[in-house]
Amino acid sequence: MSSLSVILRALVPVAFVILLGVFAGRVRLIRPEQSNVLATLALDFCLPALLFGATATMAPGDWSNWRLSLGIALGLLVIFISALIISLAFFRNTLAASSLQALNSAFPNVAFIGVPVFTAVLGKSAMLLVVIGNLIGNLVLVPLTLILLAAGSQTRTGTKLRVIWNSLLDAIRQPLIWAPLAGLFMALTHIPLPVLGQKSLFLIGDATSGVALFATGLILSGQKLSLSLPTILNVGFKNAVQPVAMWLLALLLGITGLEQHEMILLGALPTAPITAMFAVRYKVYAEESGATILFSTICSIVTLGLVIALTR
């Protein structure tokens, strides 16, 4: 099977669900402003349930390769911090807007596009990479973004230390944070998750992709999308710079073979729709987030194909 066929098989269903959301919003079957309900469903129920079930059923030995986890975490953070500095220093955005610009530039769509792409390219063993990539992204980038969003809120008062502390507490209370941590605790302490519990969690967790992608389309239906300079920068960082950063970090950490391939492929994934979910919830950087997701996903047909062809 050709690289293009693999990518198209992975991306066409994604595009279909996003376009379905756009259609629903355009013909007013669902109002675009109601996307906040779907965002809450995806962020507070579906994805936390999926991550909790996945981490709770992992074997402790799955986390033995610390170099791969460290490489992925650094690859996400390097892009996030670079984009954050550029947004604050050059675009003069607020802290809240800058945090979402950084998240748009750094957070790969592991949950929704990673699953079909990794499975098609790497086989069944790719599910471990999906779990690790999702967990690291949600334990590194999401808390950092939530802290910055809360710290940048106009309603925050008090000393900087108190603002940071309150923001950290707000982040910890989010199901996206404590759910995978609770699952990881169960895995490391050998507490079994009953089969009935697994089925219950995965029943709602399996709805994550469809809900988030449909909500993304609904958000896009109510916006005027334009290819602005910030959007171009976000897409460039995510689709081109991050896979190169992953490759350089793999060389630095001595990661070779299949694991190096996995790191680079993860970095080449387009921007995750979770950025639009945060934009809707916090009412900031919504138009740029929607445009970044759209153009990053379109461009990933080319960039993912190149990465697969070059790393095979």
Alpha-carbon distance of 17 to 27, in angstroms, equals: 16
Helical spans, DSSP H, in 2-65: 3-26, 35-41, 47-56
**CATH number of the domain that residue 41 is part of:** 1.20.1530.20
Q: What is the mean pLDDT of the chain?
A: 85
Residues 6+ apart with CB under 8 A from 255: 67, 68, 71, 249, 263
Q: What percent of the chain has pLDDT over 70?
A: 89
- Please, are residues 141 and 80 in contact by the beta-carbon 8 Å criterion? yes
**Element (DSSP H or E) covering residue 2:** none
CA neighbor of 281 nearest in space, from 6, 42, 3, 108: 42
Whether 154 has a pLDDT exceeding 70, the answer reads no
Q: What angle do CA 297, 299, 302 make, to 5 degrees?
A: 120
Which pLDDT belongs to residue 164? 65
Alpha-carbon distance of 132 to 127, in angstroms, equals: 9
Whether 14 has a pLDDT exceeding 80, the answer reads no
Confidence of residue 229 (pLDDT cuts 50, 70, 90): very high
Domain around 81:
3-311
- The count of structural domains within the chain is 1
**Per-position DSSP letters for 217-238, written without gaps between them:** HHHHHTS-----HHHHHHHHII
Structure tokens at 34: 């109601």
Which pLDDT belongs to residue 172? 75
